[in-house]
Amino acid sequence: MDRPRRAFAFWQERIAFLAPLTAAAALIVATVPAAAQSMAPPGASTCSGCHGSGASASAPGSAVPALQGQEPEAITAAMQAFRTGRREATVMDRIAKGFTDEETRAIAVWVSQQH
């Protein structure tokens, strides 16, 4: 009778030891996609310095319009208009000139997805 009980205690100890490790592993697995999502394409993180994001997003009617919630196509089109001078700007013409069409598109998709 002694032997099975010892074996039980043996496994009980090991399971108690493994449980926190399993929880830690699950946490790491859950965190990785969130971290990947927050990786901004080059240049994109500078936009929020003026346009804001989340709770600090520009208020409606502000001189710096909010970008979050806008369609990526609208952001891309505005950037192209700024770059070519079709749309008048105080700063965006110069900023838009710093990005290629491809970079602009990647930034537009990313900023439109920020909450």
Q: HEC states along the chain?
A: CHHHHHHHHHHHHHHHHHHHHHHHHHHHHHHHHHHHHCCCCCCHHHHHHHHCCHHHCCCCCCCCCCCCCCCHHHHHHHHHHHHHCCCCCCCHHHHHCCCCHHHHHHHHHHHHCCC
From residue 69, alpha-carbon distances to 72, 83, 87 in Å are 9, 22, 21
Which CB, 31 or 46, lies closer to ligand HEC?
46
Binding piece for ligand HEC, criterion CB under 6 A, among 4-12, 14-22, 33-41, 61-69: 61-69
Regarding 78 and contact with ligand HEC (CB under 6 A), the answer is yes
One residue of 65, 68, 80, 109 binding ligand HEC per CB under 6 A = 65
Regarding 106 and contact with ligand HEC (CB under 6 A), the answer is no
Shortest distance in whole angstroms from residue 95 CB to ligand HEC: 5
- Taking residues 4 to 43 in sequence order and writing x for each that binds ligand HEC by CB under 6 A, - otherwise, the string is ---------------------------------------x
What tokens were used for 100?
Answer: 């290629």
Which CB, 16 or 82, lies closer to ligand HEC?
82
Regarding 50 and contact with ligand HEC (CB under 6 A), the answer is yes
